[in-house]
Amino acid sequence: MLYKQEHREFMNSLSKFIKQEITPFVDEWEDAGIFPAKELFQKMGAQGFLGVCKPEEYGGMGLDYSFSLAMAETLGEIPCGGVPMAIGVQTDMATPALARFGSDYVKENYLRPAISGDYVACIGVSEPSAGSDVAAIKSNARSDGDDYVINGQKMWITNGTQADFMCMLVNTSDGPIHSSKSLIIVPMDTPGITVAKKLDKLGMRSSDTAQLYFEDVRVPKRNIIGEEGLGFTYQMLQFQEERLWAAGNALRSSIRLLMIQFHIPARDRFLGNRFLIIR
């Protein structure tokens, strides 16, 4: 990625934020198996970091996607994988579809507080029997008057124990598997949602990953993102941001791992990162 002066200034201010507000606490959060998402996100939101490419109308900065990549790359300076991933879920995995296809209601009530950091977001796609094969999800939302009634379960959900809402992929009909799904915003304090367990992991420990059950969870139909039946397509588009974000984030974090492997002292690693990236 060839960055301009504006990108570099943005990356420098994020880098400064990381050094002050994240890096000193990483060991503690990795040991605890969780980090205080809302507290950190509110600080990030106050500086505009959670809405880099989101519309200005809803509190975002309205910049182009190159700035999201600059952010993902800079987050690679955090000396762990969990916190950057959780931030990436908030900015580039659970919210792009809201910005792209959400109604004014959805944007005002869920996108705006996700950009300010007042709401923690999570993305609910994976299930025990549906990982890579997204079309195989079994969770469903039955129409009941003005509501959907959701039943099912989601697995490996990042921010799952702390989230205020989930952008959830569910089946809304029995039709063909690619046109039977919808993306629905589910407030996580709705009755019927159970955090079955916070999963213990070998890596990315500071990010909480949860298994969640949904039993007769009633959500108003106005919480749908875009049109019913287009959820699979919306999610495939949302995955594009997720994948690009992950690639950008890996640039600095993987180089840091290489440096650790080659025993380059910590004090030289940051300079080394820059050197390797420039080369």
Considering only residues 2, 5, 64, 132, which one is a binding residue for ligand FAD as defined by CB under 6 A?
A: 132
Q: Does 121 bind ligand FAD (CB under 6 A)?
A: no
Say if residue 193 is exposed, middle or buried (CB neighbours under 10 Å; 0-12, 13-18, 19+): middle
Torsion of CA 103, 108, 112, 113, to 10 degrees: -120
Other beta carbons within 10 Å of 16:
11
Six-digit token pair at 213? Answer: 């059950």
Q: Are the C-beta atoms of residues 248 and 1 closer than 8 Å to each other?
A: yes
The interface with ligand FAD within residues 84-103 (CB under 6 A) comprises 89
Q: Does 202 bind ligand FAD (CB under 6 A)?
A: no
Q: Does 137 bind ligand FAD (CB under 6 A)?
A: no
Choose between 167 and 255: whose C-beta lies nearer to ligand FAD. Answer: 167
Choose between 135 and 277: whose C-beta lies nearer to ligand FAD. Answer: 135
Considering only residues 62, 131, 175, 176, which one is a binding residue for ligand FAD as defined by CB under 6 A?
A: 131
The interface with ligand FAD within residues 158-177 (CB under 6 A) comprises 158
Say if residue 206 is exposed, middle or buried (CB neighbours under 10 Å; 0-12, 13-18, 19+): buried
Among the residue ranges 105-113, 120-128, 215-223, 247-255, the one whose residues contact ligand FAD (CB under 6 A): 120-128
**Half-sphere CA count of 59, side-chain side, radius 13 A:** 21
Q: Does 125 bind ligand FAD (CB under 6 A)?
A: yes
Query: Where do contacts with ligand FAD occur on this chain (CB under 6 A)?
Result: 89, 122-126, 131-132, 156-158, 204, 209
